[in-house]
Amino acid sequence: MELPATLARVNKRLTNPIQRLWAPHLAPWAMVEHTGRSSGRRYRTPVLAWAGGDTLAVVLAYGRDTDWVRNVLAAGGCDITRRGKHFHLMRPRIIPADSPDVVRGARPFASAFAWVLIGTLEPA
């Protein structure tokens, strides 16, 4: 299942600016900081993310073709702020939501969707 694109547009304009206030500090929220593929502009996108050891999993509720996901994959990583700590996400890749590689905490949420972005966290 994927959430509708119209909801994504509403969230981008209305909800995300509010979520940016707490996302870097309140798990399972996290802030993804990525660079636009064409514009070179820096973006900050709040996401739901679960960590297990040095692996981070972000359930892709809007699918695998959103701009922020494409930016992260094209750059080969991104910066993440989670629980007030800064990390760099290395080697991002998209896996099926039912993969055994999905971080345990993300599995209940992932089961409702098709894809999960995972990568390795390194302190920034």
* CATH code, 58: 2.30.110.10
- 25 in a domain, yes or no? yes
Q: How many structural domains comprise the chain? A: 1
- Rounded to an integer, the average pLDDT of 77-95 is 98
- 1 in a domain, yes or no? no
Vertex 37 angle, CA 18 and 99, to 5°: 75
The pLDDT tens digits for 2-46 are 888 888 788 788 888 899 999 999 999 999 999 999 999 999 999
My answer on whether omega of the bond before 28 falls inside 30° of 0, hence cis, is: yes
- 115 in a domain, yes or no? yes
Q: Residue 93 pLDDT more than 90?
A: yes
Type of residue found at 49: A
Q: State phi, psi for 83 to the nearest 5 degrees.
A: 55, 35
Type of residue found at 101: D
pLDDT of residue 16: 86
Type of residue found at 71: N
The domain of 31 spans 18-123
The pLDDT tens digits for 46-83 are 999 999 999 999 999 999 999 999 999 999 999 999 99
- 9 in a domain, yes or no? no
- 13 in a domain, yes or no? no
